[in-house]
Every structure is written in C-alpha cells, then in structure tokens.
Amino acid sequence: MSQFFVLAPTSYGGRGVFASQSIPKDTLVHTCPAPYASVIYREFRKEVCAQCFDYSFDARRNAWNIRLDGFYFCSDGCLDDWKRENPRELIADVVSAIDRLTKSMVKGKSKSNLSDFATPSPGPEALDTIWGKAEQYPIRGHPVVFLDELELEHARFVLSGLIRRHADESSNSWSDMLELQDNELHYIRQRPGALSSQIRVYIFIRLVVREIPVLSQYVETSDSVRAILSRDPGNVFGIYETNQTGDSEMFGWCMYVSASFFNHDCNPNIRKRRSGRAMCFYTTRDVSPAEELCTNYISLEDSVTERRQQLSSNWYFDCGCQRCKDELSETG
C-alpha cells in the first residue's frame, strides 16, 4: 500500500493503518489524488472550482471564472484537467436530466406514494425487502419524486460515483470503493426518515438515467446506489477552504477511498490537508514502527463527553482511543 504503512486489523474498530518504519514529524505519508465521488453544494457551485475545489469567485471583477456545461473553474489548467479526467458528454447528459426533472418536481406530490418504504429500526432482512420494493416502484406514469435540497445533493453525489464507476470500468476502483466500511444499518437506525430519503434518492436516480444506458445498467437493482449511500456516512470528508480558519464554510463533500482507512484518535499523530483535489496526510510528530497512524474526525478541544457524543451521533462509533480512556477514568 505504501512505503510508510500497512493496513491491519485493530483491537477496537475494524482495520487501521500502522507505520511500517520510523517516520519523522512533518512527513507526507499519504496522498489520495482524487475523490471517487463528490458534490459541491448548489449555493457554492458557481463560486468553487469544480476541479480543485478552491473558492474561485473573482469578487474584484464581480465575475464568474471559466464555465463549461454548468461547471465553473478557476483556471484554464483546471478546466483542461477536468476535461481530461471526466467523461464530459455523459456528465452533460446527467446534468441536463437532473435540471429537467428538478423543474417538474411538484412539492409534496409523490412523497405519499412512497410512504410504505418507511419502517422504524429495520434489520438487514427488512432493509433488503424494502430496497427490493423500491426496485419495483414504477417510475413511468408517476409524478417526479420530490427531493429536498439535501436529497438532491445526495443524488448528485451518488451519480458522480456511478459516472466514475463507468469511466474507470477497466480498473479496480469500484471494488476498492466497496472495501470501505459499510455503515448502512447504524445510519438508518440512528436517523428516522433516512431510509425513505435514500429510497427517494434511488428512485430519482432511476429517472435521471433512464435514457442513459451506460448508467441505467447500474440502477436496475439498487445494489450500486445502496453501496455508495451506505459508505457515505462515516467515510466522507467535508470540502473546506484549504487555508481553513475557525469559521470556514463547508462547500460540499467527497469520498476519498484510500484516505478512509485512517482511524480517529483524540490525540492524533497525523493531520489531513486538502491540496486541490488531493487529500494529503502528514505526521504531526515522530512516529515509531508499528504505531497506528490516526487522524482526527472532529475538533479536539471539546470535553471527552462532547467528543464521544459527536463521534457516536455523526460517526456511529464509541471512541476507543487512549485519551478518551484516560479522561473517562479521571472523570470517574
């Protein structure tokens, strides 16, 4: 995997990343060059470069930067990189299908047709049955399923993953993505309404791709959409400005596959830094061989109770780090 580390099981939380040698402070130990799937929130789409995710609105000229097919770029270099790395015509077809369908959504309509998908605290079998029903839901002859703003962002995120799957068909990138931890049950059990929301997203995606055969093959069953949706919670990274200040805004979110194996520690020894499209990890102190390399998923300034609460409700795990153990024993 890397000259610096190996992936191995931990005693407390699935797999982790362990140093395979001594690593000095401030070493770049890993770069994940690009996300597998990503979305920039609608309100930032004209202001954030679609390629390098930098805030690129030119306020001095009060003008948008370079534009192509509804995407905005900070430079010709970013535009060229984007054209080289992405299937432009396919993306344009998806964007125009989303725009068309969004215009014909009628608020409140069709939500009621989907009420039989709601169920409290389902087990794995109940989930399979519900998703099976969603696959049979007739999309023709019904009003377009209504998605709220965040559901639309989820649909865009999943579609970016399906487009990536198609574009990278000759590589192992889809099977690599499937290696990420699946958090479906935790997420759905903790968030009432999450399952019916995911089903609406799936049905909307079926509508988006119904005239796009290279993508419609991936939604005949719900497996691929479900695979992305169930790896989104607990694995994705927010897109923030690179020179992050305390009050920096989140522009959207990304799924970085090889960057998602670092566990959390409330006393981490690596830090992440986005560099354009890439996510980079640096050591924050000297690391010994066999030490686990851990980053932090949350702010480290909060109390042990607050940190554990955040990790439990937003990341779906009870933190097993040494700092939590020490502070919990101090607080009794």
Ligand X SMILES: C[S@@+](CC[C@H](N)C(=O)[O-])C[C@H]1O[C@@H](n2cnc3c(N)ncnc32)[C@H](O)[C@@H]1O
Sort 58 into a burial class: Cβ within 10 Å, 0-12 / 13-18 / 19+: exposed
Q: Which DSSP category does 272 fall into?
A: E
Q: Considering only residues 2, 13, 304, 323, which one is a binding residue for ligand X as defined by CB under 6 A?
A: 13
CB neighbour burial string for 127-144, b if at least 16 within 10 angstroms, e if fewer: beebbeebeebeeeeeeb
Which residue minimizes CB distance to ligand X? 13
Interface of this chain with ligand X, residues 51 to 110, rule: CB under 6 A? none
**CA angle (93 as vertex; 87, 98 as ends), nearest 5:** 125
**270 touching ligand X, by CB under 6 A:** no
In the complex with ligand X, the residue whose CB is nearer, 102 or 181, is 181
Q: Are 289 and 46 in contact (CB under 8 A)?
A: no
Neighbours of 32 (CB within 10 A): 20
Q: Considering only residues 196, 198, 235, 295, which one is a binding residue for ligand X as defined by CB under 6 A?
A: 235
Q: How far apart are CA 75 and CA 116, in angstroms?
A: 48
Q: Considering only residues 1, 6, 15, 300, which one is a binding residue for ligand X as defined by CB under 6 A?
A: 15
Stretch that binds ligand X, among 21-29, 54-62, 168-176, 309-317 (CB under 6 A): 309-317
Interface of this chain with ligand X, residues 154 to 183, rule: CB under 6 A? 181
Q: Considering only residues 157, 204, 256, 317, which one is a binding residue for ligand X as defined by CB under 6 A?
A: 317
Residue with tokens 């700092």: 323
Q: How far apart are CA 267 and CA 301, in angstroms?
A: 11
Q: Considering only residues 261, 270, 295, 307, which one is a binding residue for ligand X as defined by CB under 6 A?
A: 261
**258 touching ligand X, by CB under 6 A:** no
- The least distance separating ligand X from the CB of residue 317, rounded to whole angstroms, comes to 4
Of how many residues is the chain composed? Answer: 332
Q: Give the residue among 100, 98, 137 at the shortest CA–CA distance from 115.
A: 137
Sort 173 into a burial class: Cβ within 10 Å, 0-12 / 13-18 / 19+: middle
In the complex with ligand X, the residue whose CB is nearer, 133 or 323, is 323
In the complex with ligand X, the residue whose CB is nearer, 42 or 273, is 273
| Residue 2 backbone class (left: φ over 0; alpha: ψ -120 to 50; beta: rest) | beta
Q: Where are the alpha helices (DSSP H) in 210-315?
A: 213-216, 223-231, 304-315
CB neighbour burial string for 187-223, b if at least 16 within 10 angstroms, e if fewer: bbeeeeeebbbbbbbbbbbbbbbeebebbeebbeebe
Stretch that binds ligand X, among 7-15, 77-85, 144-152, 164-172 (CB under 6 A): 7-15
**234 touching ligand X, by CB under 6 A:** yes
**296 touching ligand X, by CB under 6 A:** no
**36 touching ligand X, by CB under 6 A:** no
Q: Considering only residues 1, 6, 8, 12, which one is a binding residue for ligand X as defined by CB under 6 A?
A: 12
- The least distance separating ligand X from the CB of residue 294, rounded to whole angstroms, comes to 7
Stretch that binds ligand X, among 33-41, 65-73, 148-156, 255-263 (CB under 6 A): 255-263
**263 touching ligand X, by CB under 6 A:** yes
Stretch that binds ligand X, among 11-19, 95-103, 132-140, 281-289 (CB under 6 A): 11-19
Residues within the interface to ligand X (CB under 6 A): 12-16, 181, 234-235, 260-261, 263-265, 315-317, 319-321
